[in-house]
Structures are given as C-alpha cells and as structure tokens.
Structure 1
Amino acid sequence: MRKYALEIAIGFVPVLLVFLFVIGINVLPVLFLAVIGAAVFYTARGKGKLTAFSSGKNRSEVADSSFTFDQIGGQERAKQELVEALDFLVKRDQIAKLGIRPLKGILLAGPPGTGKTLLAKAAAQYTDSVYVAASGSEFVEMYVGVGAGRIRDLFKEARTKAKKAGKESAVIFIDEIEVIGGKRDGGQHREYDQTLNQLLTEMDGIHANESPRILLIAATNRKEMLDSALLRPGRFDRHIGVELPDKKGRLHILNIHASNKPMDDEVKMERIADQTYSFSGAQLESVMNEAAIYAMRVNDPVITEQHLIMAIDKVLLGETTDRETSIEERERVALHELGHAIMAELMRPGSVSQVALTPRGGTLGYVRHQPQQDQYLYTTPFLHSQIMIALGGAAAEEMFYGDRSTGSRGDFEQAMNIVKTLVESGLTSLGIVDSSMMTPQKWADISREILDELMAKTKNLLEEQRNVFQSSLQTLIKEESIDGESFRSMLKLYSAA
C-alpha cells in the first residue's frame, strides 16, 4: 500500500482542490502552505540545493580512475611521502604486525596549480579505493546545520559507495579545506564552526579496524589559516608540502605534456625549463597547450621553440593586444624597458632572455628574465639588486625626460614588496623587528631610506651606459624585440664605445 501512496496523493489532491474551488472556498492559502511545506520537506530529506548531496549524484567521483603517480611530474618528494602514507592502507598485515596506527588524514599544502588534486586522484588509484571529492565551499551555507549535515553525508556516502563497489577503502578529497577549517575565535554559533566541529567528530570516528577504511585527503594553499585542532596528530597525521617544481621537475612536467604533441627536433626542453622559473605544473601544461595553438594558427606541422617562447610570454603576461601607441610613447616605453634590461645585465650578467615592445596583457613592453639557477635563500645584496632592476625603468625615464610615467607603478609595487621582505627578515638598519610593531610612519621612513639610496645608485650606473641607450633604442623600436644574446652583444659593443 505504501508503494502506491504517492500516486494516490498526486491524483487525490488536485481533485480536492478543484472541488473546494467549485463550492466557493478560497484555496490560495492552502496552496501557499502546501508549497512551503513541500519545500521544507524536500530540504529536510536532503534532496534540495541547500543540503548535502545524500544521493551522491552531484558528487564528483572517480571510482575506477586510471590516473597514476607516474603521470604527475615535478613532485618526487611529495609523491614519495604520500606513497609511504598510503602503504598503511595497502600493506595492512605488515603494519598490523608492527603495531602501526593507520593515518586518518593527509594534508597537501602548497601554491595553486602544483598538483594537489592530481595527487589525491593518484592516491585513490594506488590504494584501489573509491574516490569522492568535494570543495570546502560546498559545506558553508547561511542555514544552521546544513554544513554539518553535508559532512555527515559525505562520509556516509564514501562508505556506502566503497561497499557497493566491493572496495576495502575510500579516499575522501576536500579541496580548499581552509573554508571550513579556519581558526575558531570562540563564536560557537557560526555555521562554519559547527561544520568544522562535525568534521573533527567524523575524523575521530575513523578507526583502524573498520571496513571500509576511510582516508581523508585535504588541500589548501593557506595552511596558516587552519585550526590547530584540525592539524594535530590523530586527525591530519601527515602534512605534505606540494611546492613549485625546480628545474628538474619543470623539465619532467614539460616532457610529460609534450609526449602527445609533435615537437620539432631542434627544441631543447632544458632551455624551456630554464625560462619557466617559478612556474607551477598548471602553468607549464598551459605553456605546452598554448604553443600547440600557436603552431595551429600558422599551420605548422610541429611545435617549434619560437612557439614555446611565445607561449611562455602569453602565460606570464597575457595575449598580445592591438593597442596603437604614439611615437613618443613608444620611445618612452623602449627606454623604460632598456633601463630594466641594462640594470639586469649589470646586476646579474646573462639573466636577460628577451626585451620586447609588444603590447601584451596590461603592459606596453616587457623584459623577460632567465634566472641562472633556482634560488631559495636571498641575501641583502641580492635583494638590493632586485630593487635596482625594478627601479631601472623609472630611472631611465628620468634620465631622458626629467620625469616618470604611470608605467612605473608596477615596478614600485615590486620594489616595496622587496623592502617589506628586507624589514621582516631583519636585513635593514632597523635590525630584527616584528612587522606588527611597525607603524605606517616607520614603514614610510625605512622605505624612503632604502629606495632613495638605491635609486641614486641605479641612476649613476645607467648614466655610464648612456651610449647603450642611444645606440640600441632605434634597433628595439624597429625590431620590436631583442633576444638575450643579441642584447648582451649590443651592451658589450656600445659600452666599450
């Protein structure tokens, strides 16, 4: 009888409403209350947009993903740490003999685009687990209890799908965990605090002897925002840094994405890896894709190194634009970029990869630098040289025009950020200080002291290279771009003149 209750109700209610209307009874209030009641019932049952996806139909799942660790480049250390942690799921008999407690959670922390989501998918494949993914933003709503309900449904869904698929384990991946895992300030009535409390409870409920086993993998690029209760052992037991790849890692990633593309035999991936310093895995994939698009535009059968260089510029600065500049403005931009390039070669010989006047993104010209090697520690002289390179454009404009333009705005922002690094690292005349103790006036004083001194040094060095400006200006305006080797040849030739 219960099986046909819904069909009977659907047929009876319209007939009843028509009957009431015929005998003169106003049915609008009844309809209004019925709609509200249905909405509340629909939401409470967990089928509505405001509740958790208890049905699992809207959840991203890769139950039989073929994505493996071999398809992830540039993260050898992170992969090694993750595989070691996953072995607790794979080698159950061995860890039981040693009395090892299986891990409950693994936190992947690092910049965007470094492959955290890919690592989670590969983890599910490695452990032969059901993979269930969600984003932190899915759990936060203005309605009290909705987020906590979604957390409960997420863990329930993972267990249910693992049993249905005959799997012994399930991997739950939560991206942007900082949305629900942020530090609590004592306001226990806030919705996302209740959501975090529920997540902590669910993680405490993961036991070594349960089946299927649940492993929670979360990703964030703002680890410092997470609550300490979430980070302690017994919840997120392993914290794995997923950092930007070094040169070797970049080369590995580039080769992975070049494997399905027709590459010219003259392309040297080592040079491309050199020129993509600080690129993430996602940016490197985009470089290879954009290079293929450039090849398609001109009907080239293979991807050349020139296509790759253009793709690097596009990923860094955006697509070329059709901005038309006046002769005077074009000359000012050329002098500005030459100022950057000359200072770069004086501070770090061999670092300039290209000087260009091509409008791209929000810039009218640019200098692309090529670091000699990956660097992680910076000294005071190095940071001062970085500031002088940033100030080179404005200094060149002052040399030839007596004033600056708005084109130096981004350079000054870069210089100020380096000053902030100097202060917070105790590398200024202030000594070791806490940045929170710095007043706006103190920041202004120390910034003026450092920038005025370095601007004076920059002008003096550029004045000695006035011949280089005057001799290379027309070449840059005519050719629109000068590669690094040609620029160094010009610098050597005109400096000796």
Structure 2
Amino acid sequence: MRNRTMAWPEFAIGLSIVVLVFLAYIGINVWPIVIAAAAIGILAFAAQYRSKATSMTDGSGSARSKSRSAKVQSIGFNRIGGQDRAKHELIEALDFLVRPEAIKKFGIRPLKGILLTGPPGTGKTLMAKAAASYADAVFLGASGSEFVEMYVGVGAGRIRSLFKDARQLAVKEKKENAIIFIDEIDVIGGKREGGQQKEYDQTLNQLLTEMDGLYADETPRILIMAATNRKEMLDGALLRPGRFDRHIQVDLPDKKGRQHILELHTQNKPLADEVQLEKIAEETFGFSGAQLESVLNEGAIYAMREEKEQIEMRHLSLAIDKVMMGEKTDRETNQEERRRVALHELGHAIVAELVRPGSVSQVSLSPRGQALGYVRHQPQQEKYLYTLPFLEEQIMISLGGAVAEEMFYGHRSTGSQGDFDQALNIVETMVNAGLTSLGIVKMKHVSIEALSGEMNTIMEQLTTRTRQMLEQHRDTFQHSLEKLIQDEQLSGDDFRCLICESKQLPA
C-alpha cells in the first residue's frame, strides 16, 4: 500500500509530460503552461518548507519547555539555608495559590507576579523551584536572554509560547497551578526609553499583556516569578501592583544562615572531628550560598589530592582563600620583593590587631590571583551600620601596608594600588553618608576640587595616625618578619603570640 501511494507523484509527472508533448505536437504553445506549473511548484515547495520550519521551531520550543519542567527536581524550603525571612514571605505569597477559597472569602486580589531580588548566588532560582514544589505546580524556567534575538517579534512569540506551554503542561499533569520563572528579567524588562531597542520593547509589552490576562477564576492558575540582581534597572510598568505585586529581597546570609548552609552541604561529605562549621561561618563573612558550597567542594578536592579519608580544617581554610582570592599562582619573586611583601602584609595585620584585637585570621605570602600576599580578616560580629570611627579604622588597616614600606624602605611600591582604591572608596562612602567636614551633601553636587581636597585631608590625617601606631611596634615587625618569610603563612593565633613576645623583648 505504501509503495502504491509513493508511485502516484511519479505517475502524475509522467502523464503531464506525455500531455505536454502531445499538445506541442498538435501545434499548441506549451511554454506558458510550463512556466505556470513551475511557479506553482516553487510556491508549494516554499510553503511546505515554511510549515516544516515552523513546526520544528514550535516543537523544539515546546520540547525545551517540557524538558525544563521535567528536569526540575522536587526541592523543599527546608533544603534552602540562610533565608528564613525571604522563605516566610514567599510561602505567605504562595498561599494565594494553595488556598483559593480563602482568597474568595476575604475578597483578596490574587498575586500575579513575585520578584526575587538580591546578589548573585543567594538562591533565587532554588527558591523558585521550592515554590513550585510547595504549591504542587508545574515549573517552567527560562532566562531573559533566551527571548532576545535580532529578529523582530521572536521574543514576543516566545513569551506567548511560554504561557501556552505552562497551561498545556498543567492540564496534562492534572495540576491546578503553574509557575513560570524568568531569570535575569532585567534583560527584557529594562526601562523603556525608545530609540533602538524596539524588539526589547515588544517582548516586554507581550509579557505585560500576558500578565494582564491572568485571572483568579481561570484554571490552571499561573504565577509569574522572576529574579534579578539589578532591580533599579526594571521598567516601572513591571513593578506596579497588578504585575509583580511582591518584591522579596534575597540577601547574603548572616552567620547563623551561613552555618545552616554549611550543614546542608556537608551532609554527604566526610568531615574530620576537628572541623568546626561555626568557625568557618565566622570566617566567611559576606559569602553567598553558592560561594559556601564552593568552599566545601574545593575543600573536598584538596583532601582528595592528598589522598585523605576525611576533609580537615586546613583543607577548608585553603578553600576559603581560593574562593576569596583565586588559585595559587606560579609567580616567583626574588628575595628583596619577598621581604617587601612580607613587611607590607605585616603592616596590614599589625594595624588590624591594634584597632580590632583578634580580627586577623591569617597572614600569607602565597601568591593568589593578582596578590603576592594577603591578610584574611574575620569580623568579630555581624555589622550592617558603620560609624565614623569604624570606617577610619578600616582605612588605617588599608594604609598599613604602604606605611610599613615607607618605614623600612623610605618609599612605596605599586603593590599599594589596590589598598588605596579600597581606602578611597571608604572615604567616598563617608562623604555620601555626611560623615565628613563637607556635611550632608550629594556627591553630584560636590565639585571635583572640593571632593579631592576633602579626600586628601582625610587620607593624610589617617596616614599620619597609622605611621605613629606602627612606629611604636617596630619590634613586632622584626620579630615576625623572618618567621613569616620562612613559613609563608601565619595563623591568627600564631601572629598574636608573636606580638605578645615582641612586647616582652627588651628595647
């Protein structure tokens, strides 16, 4: 049967040729017929090709959406550490999906969109997946960059397909809820200013249109979740009530949150008895959840390299340094440079211990990243507000390396460039906060001359204070220098012992 069907086109072509030959034989001009038949054939072929391309595009897009949904593993909020406030706020918002009867009873307008904002690596995508698990909803994830192409209308079409796929998947899996998650929404949801970004505007307009078309009484119910690191870049039409109603800040975890994250990620890792997760949480101030996971992963790699049975504390200490500073480099320095770097780092460490006792975690001469040496500090307690004395101390710690070089060499080196950048950034923060003699001002209203003069005054005053402080502890430099050069690394406790010993030495 199949062979007979396949033979019909060949039979038709053969019959057409016979008819054309007969017509030409009896004197009829067949060229118009030939040209018309060729044109019809070309148009039919083009239509068939376009239909195939469209079906392939739609099919791949649908398959891609289904694969995104199928690959999502069930993850609960209990598997996300360090975000208790954000999780509580998100669960409260998801109850609008889980409890539709209560919404009707109190006349509450259901939420259409939830925006997760915060630094990279804080778990925004994980929270979106956990939300789908909590609400028993199908999950479709996409990145903002997936909707951006040079062809007009492509992004808007993909937005339509995404919402269509969400409804179809929910019906197919017999679920009443669907969650669409758009990561990096600032790519398509940036502020519209006209000009050259027409395609971006069409994509954003289509997203707004789809969100306006979501109603509480329709089934399946669809909730839009999005994530961004740059909320200030988003268009106001996205942020107004009725679109993204809830804005949930997903911040960097505090010490308690960091310890919880570490505990979650160490469940499948063999840890030595000496490992103290609380101490690691203290030393990783400012780390995101992704960075903490990387610390444990790198620590396991160090243990595997040494063919150890368990991950030891020193492995995790090396991992913290690697995540913060980068991998060790093969830079070879001569003896004089090595001595200068050692004095530079001791300058930072001595000032830090004098203004904040117990804050130095490690002094190292191992080159990492762009640094030839470094001092790792551990905060005594979490701080979110900074006073003028605290900021001045921070600047003095940054200046300690350059001042130490001046004390022993009479001049500085290019190794202080990063320290000066850090110090000047702190001074700029002081100006913005109204903590300088300029008073309460806006940075854009301060002239360059006035700003430079204020910065120079502050830097000179603090440099003088730093020099006076270090001059009183020259013996500490002499007592610690050779030990640091020989061992290449001093722990915070060892360094503090050296300071105490130098104080007991006769002048």
Q: Give the structure-1-normalised TM-score.
A: 0.90
C-alpha deviations, 1:440-463, integer Å up to 9, x for none?
Answer: 333322221221221121111111
Distance 2:472 2:123 in 1: 47
Task: Report if aligned partners of 2:299, 2:315 keep a CA contact under 8 Å in 1.
Answer: yes
Given the alignment, which residue of 383, 387, 394 partners 1:386? 394
Gapped regions of structure 1 (runs ≥ 5): 17-24
Gapped regions of structure 2 (runs ≥ 5): 17-33
Question: Which residue in the other structure is 1:21 paired with?
Answer: none
Question: Which residue in the other structure is 1:335 paired with?
Answer: 343
Given the alignment, which residue of 50, 74, 81 partners 1:41? 50
Given the alignment, which residue of 159, 168, 174 partners 2:182? 174
Give the Å deviation of 1:225: 0.9
Q: How many residues align?
A: 478
Q: Does 1:317 align with 2:317?
A: no
The sequence identity of aligned pairs, in percent, is 61
Cα distance 1:437–1:6, how it changes in 2: closer, same or farther (>3 A)? farther
Question: Which residue in the other structure is 2:27 paired with?
Answer: none
Task: Report if aligned partners of 1:72, 1:119 keep a CA contact under 8 Å in 2.
Answer: yes
Distance 1:436 1:40 in 2: 59
Task: Report if aligned partners of 2:115, 2:244 keep a CA contact under 8 Å in 1.
Answer: yes
Question: Which residue in the other structure is 2:29 paired with?
Answer: none
Give the Å deviation of 1:480: 0.7
Question: Which residue in the other structure is 2:63 paired with?
Answer: 56
2:105 partner amino acid? K
Distance 2:262 2:10 in 1: 60
Give the Å deviation of 1:195: 1.2
C-alpha deviations, 1:69-114, integer Å up to 9, x for none?
Answer: 1110000111111111111111122222122222110010000000
Distance 2:80 2:364 in 1: 34
Q: Provide the secondary structure at the position in 2 that maps to 1:300.
A: coil
1:386 partner amino acid? Q
C-alpha deviations, 1:385-433, integer Å up to 9, x for none?
Answer: 1111111111111111111111111111111211111111111111111
1:201 partner amino acid? T
CA RMSD of aligned residues (A): 2.8
Distance 2:177 2:352 in 1: 54
Question: Which residue in the other structure is 1:477 paired with?
Answer: 485
Larger Rg: 2
Cα distance 1:301–1:423, how it changes in 2: closer, same or farther (>3 A)? same
Task: Report if aligned partners of 1:56, 1:157 keep a CA contact under 8 Å in 2.
Answer: no
Question: Which residue in the other structure is 1:466 paired with?
Answer: 474
Alignment of 1:436-475 (within 5 A): 436-475=444-483
Distance 1:36 1:329 in 2: 74
Distance 1:52 1:387 in 2: 59
C-alpha deviations, 1:286-342, integer Å up to 9, x for none?
Answer: 011111111111111111111111111111111112221100000000000000001
Q: Does 1:264 align with 2:272?
A: yes
Give the Å deviation of 1:43: 9.8
Question: Which residue in the other structure is 1:426 paired with?
Answer: 434
Give the Å deviation of 1:34: 8.6
1:237 partner amino acid? D
Q: Does 1:224 align with 2:232?
A: yes
Q: Provide the secondary structure at the position in 1 that maps to 2:379.
A: coil
Distance 2:256 2:340 in 1: 39
Q: Does 1:346 align with 2:354?
A: yes
Q: After alignment, is 331-340 or 315-324 more displaced?
A: 315-324
Task: Report if aligned partners of 1:314, 1:320 keep a CA contact under 8 Å in 2.
Answer: yes
Question: Which residue in the other structure is 1:93 paired with?
Answer: 101
1:55 partner amino acid? S
Q: Provide the secondary structure at the position in 2 that maps to 1:107.
A: strand
Distance 1:440 1:6 in 2: 82
C-alpha deviations, 1:213-245, integer Å up to 9, x for none?
Answer: 100110011111111111111111111010000
Question: Which residue in the other structure is 2:257 paired with?
Answer: 249
Cα distance 1:89–1:482, how it changes in 2: closer, same or farther (>3 A)? same
Given the alignment, which residue of 128, 144, 147 partners 2:155? 147
Give the Å deviation of 1:63: 6.8
Distance 1:269 1:362 in 2: 29
Question: Which residue in the other structure is 2:421 paired with?
Answer: 413
Distance 1:407 1:80 in 2: 46
Alignment of 1:163-242 (within 5 A): 163-187=171-195, 190-242=198-250
Cα distance 1:133–1:478, how it changes in 2: closer, same or farther (>3 A)? same
